[in-house]
Amino acid sequence: MSLFQFTTRRLVSQAYCGLKPPSSKKQRICLEMARFKSNMADFREVFAKAKHIAIITGAGVSAESGVPTFRGAGGYWRKWQAQELATPEAFARNSSRVWEFYHYRRELMLSKQPNAAHVAIAECEARLSKQGRSVVVITQNIDELHRRAGTKHLLEIHGSLFKTRCTSCGNVAKNYKSPICPALSGKGAPDPEMEDAKIPVENLPRCEEEDCNGLLRPHVVWFGETLDSDILTEVEKELEICDLCLVVGTSSVVYPAAMFAPQVSARGVPVAEFNMQTTPATDKFRFHFPGPCGTTLPPALARHKTEIIS
């Protein structure tokens, strides 16, 4: 088992609990040696040679599409923050309120469009695939904007707003209904003075599998839940073979995803961070490009002069 696999699997059980795994002496030395720079020409030379590119994205990549993060000051839906709603306990206590919250987010996302950063990533993947090169997007986002932009090789480690999972039979299904069920039509307004709809549980989204009719929940990873082990295995494989890693619009504080890029950097692979501000991981990376992702990413991923287009 590789160092990356060992650390990632240990982190699965620590997701969202705030624990940071200790680094080995070898890792600390590698990370201390890394110093970032913002030279786009240097990055472009590295990009031109890369055969397997991994792009890790977070909430910042969708911010320019007008997607709220529900984090920090002002990050409320009605009078609750996401941490108070996105938990198994909250769903068990008040599934109607939680479904109102997710119905609001689903309807909001249906009105949003991919921005220049999403498009640049998707176009880069399509172009490089014709050259025998690969791009994989590993996203913490649940909004599916990467998919709508055209990204094909996509690993959604936190799930999707547009998938449901049955609490009875466990079936996972895509679901783009608007509204997701009649009882939620017109519900979910985020105004702080809005009262809960208090929808009877039998009228909330139900499973359509034969002889089931169980209560559906959003197929997303809630606080306190572990990430899908199969998806993590795919992530491990991609990060072990990548020869260039981009970290786009992520604060690098949510584990285990926060360890992905530092682990890649620790084995000597160039990592480039695209974010509005520096993060706790910035000094571990070779490159850092500050500013809106929709501005900084397109020129970074544009066709390089050495590329041969058939």
The residues that are catalytic are 158
Q: What's the CA gap between 140 and 55, in Å, rounded?
A: 11
Task: Note whether 103 and 196 are within 8 A (CB).
Answer: no
Q: What's the CA gap between 146 and 67, in Å, rounded?
A: 13
Q: b/e per residue, 190-208, with b = 16+ CB within 10 A?
A: beeeeeebebeeeebbbbe
H helix or E strand, kind and range, residue 309: none
Task: Note whether 64 and 295 are within 8 A (CB).
Answer: no
Q: What's the CA gap between 160 and 140, in Å, rounded?
A: 10
Tabulate helix, strand, coil % of the chain (nearest 5): 40, 15, 45
Three-state DSSP class for residue 81: strand
| Helix runs in 132-252, H state only | 145-149, 229-241
| Helix runs in 130-271, H state only | 145-149, 229-241, 260-266
Q: What's the CA gap between 80 and 253, in Å, rounded?
A: 21
Q: What's the CA gap between 134 and 127, in Å, rounded?
A: 9
